[in-house]
Structures are given as C-alpha cells and as structure tokens.
A and B are shown apart, each in its own frame.
Chain A
Amino acid sequence: TQLLEQSPQFLSIQEGENLTVYCNSSSVFSSLQWYRQEPGEGPVLLVTVVTGGEVKKLKRLTFQFGDARKDSSLHITAAQPGDTGLYLCAGPLFTYQGAQKLVFGQGTRLTINP
C-alpha cells in the first residue's frame, strides 16, 4: 500500500502546454516536499510546503498544499523540454529516535516534447 499516491504516473505533452501533477494521501502530513530527479542522478528538492492551503511559486512551477494537509499539487505553466524529469512528492514521518524519514510517492515521469 502506497502512503502517497501520485498521478499521473506518466505524462507526455508538447512544449508550451500546461500540466498538473497530483500527490494524494489518506494521512495528514506536517509538510510535503517535491523533488525532481534527472536520469542517473539523485533527487533535488524543489520546494517544501508546510501550511495547509499554502501556495508557493518557483518561476513557472506552482505548488499547493491542500487545506487538510493530505494532498499537494504541482502545476507547470508553459512547459519546456528542460522540465522533463521524474517528479517525486515526499512526506516526513518521525522515527522513535527523533529523526525524520521520508516516504515517497511512486513518481510522475514527465516528458516535454519540443
């Protein structure tokens, strides 16, 4: 059972189009993070959303945290080939030792065609 469900799992669109990727859970998270991963490299953090209803913008990327802190979305405006990659959402879970471990969604593979 996946704690964080991402949809769609695969998305291929033309340059200039808009798109939205979703990350959903039945559990409440204190925050959610979005990472982007290029082939053969480690994921890189894009943004962390903390407050329910929060909206953060990173150039053409808009991230929103649901009011109930159970879901998040990533919207890309006027997609460019450089946006191609694997987008991962992740939520923190606290361990009994006090460390935070992250649970990841299965990812959305995004391809932007020129």
Chain B
Amino acid sequence: SQTIHQWPATLVQPVGSPLSLECTVEGTSNPNLYWYRQAAGRGLQLLFYSVGIGQISSEVPQNLSASRPQDRQFILSSKKLLLSDSGFYLCAWSVDWDGTQYFGPGTRLLVL
C-alpha cells in the first residue's frame, strides 16, 4: 500500500531563517507530487507540482522554492522566511490516470 510522510510535523522559525520541509512517498512509482499551503480552516492553495525528477512547476510567485531530487521525494525550501510564510503545508501525490490526490499529514509552520 502507498504511504506519504511529511516532516517535521511542527516547526517554529524566526524571520529570515532558512526552511526545508520534506515529503516522501512509498509504494508507488513516478507519482505526480504537489505542495499546498492552507490558511487556518480554509481551502488549499497549490504552490508547486512536479511530474518527474527535477521537473518543478510553480503556481504562484513567492518566497519559496521546491525540488525533487528523487522520484518519491519532494522538498519545499526557503532561503529567508517571511512572517507571511506561516501556515499549514501539505504534500500530496497522484497518478496520471486518476485525478485523486492523497495527502500527507502536513507541517504546521510558524514564523515569528
């Protein structure tokens, strides 16, 4: 069966510090991978998606970047965090023939 992991679960970082959030998927090959940000109790905003290793598409201009160094690994990064980067970050995967996305447990980021 497929599983998706995200870490850390919670992170508190000072403004201006770097960020690295990691997402890994097990039990499937060549998945499409996605990073979302969610404001408290609201809908999801797609940040990045990837259809393969090294292929990253950005949906919104922002202070963040994404990388996919391995088939089932997706990383969200920032060189210098802003207060507005605070939020709940969700990673998800899907396969091409089924639009269903399967979400990880999320990382809650608080920038102070």
- Contact-residue bracket for chain A: 20 to 34
- Contact-residue bracket for chain B: 20 to 34
Is B43 within 8 A of A104, CB to CB?
A: yes
Chain B 73-112 near chain A by CB (<8 Å), digits 1 or 0: 0000000000000000010101010011111111010000
Please indicate the chain B residues that have their CB under 8 angstroms from the CB of A104 in the complex: 43-44
- CB within 8 A of B103: which of A44, A103, A105? A44
Q: How far is the CA of A109 from the CA of B43 in the complex (A)?
A: 10
Is B51 within 8 A of A42, CB to CB?
A: no
The reply on B27 being an interface residue by CB < 8 A is: no
The reply on B70 being an interface residue by CB < 8 A is: no
Is A45 within 8 A of B46, CB to CB?
A: no
The reply on A12 being an interface residue by CB < 8 A is: no
- B62 → A minimal CB distance (Å): 16
Binds B, one of A53-61, A63-71, A90-98: A90-98
Q: How far is the CA of A99 from the CA of B55 in the complex (A)?
A: 12
Is B99 within 8 A of A88, CB to CB?
A: no
Residue of A nearest to B108 (CB): A40
Is B49 within 8 A of A99, CB to CB?
A: yes
Residue of A nearest to B90 (CB): A42
The reply on A106 being an interface residue by CB < 8 A is: yes
Q: How far is the CA of A112 from the CA of B105 in the complex (A)?
A: 24
Chain B interface residues (CB < 8 Å from chain A): 32, 34, 41-44, 46, 49, 51, 55, 57, 59, 90, 92, 94, 96, 99-106, 108
Top 10 A-B pairs ranked by shortest CB distance?
A: A42-B103, A92-B99, A106-B43, A100-B99, A104-B43, A99-B32, A104-B44, A97-B51, A99-B51, A107-B43
Please list 23 pairs of residues, one from A and one from B, whose beta carbons are closer than 8 Å in the complex, sorted by A's number. A31-B99, A41-B105, A42-B92, A43-B90, A45-B101, A48-B100, A86-B41, A97-B51, A97-B55, A98-B96, A99-B32, A99-B96, A100-B32, A100-B94, A100-B96, A101-B34, A101-B49, A102-B34, A102-B101, A105-B43, A107-B41, A107-B43, A109-B41
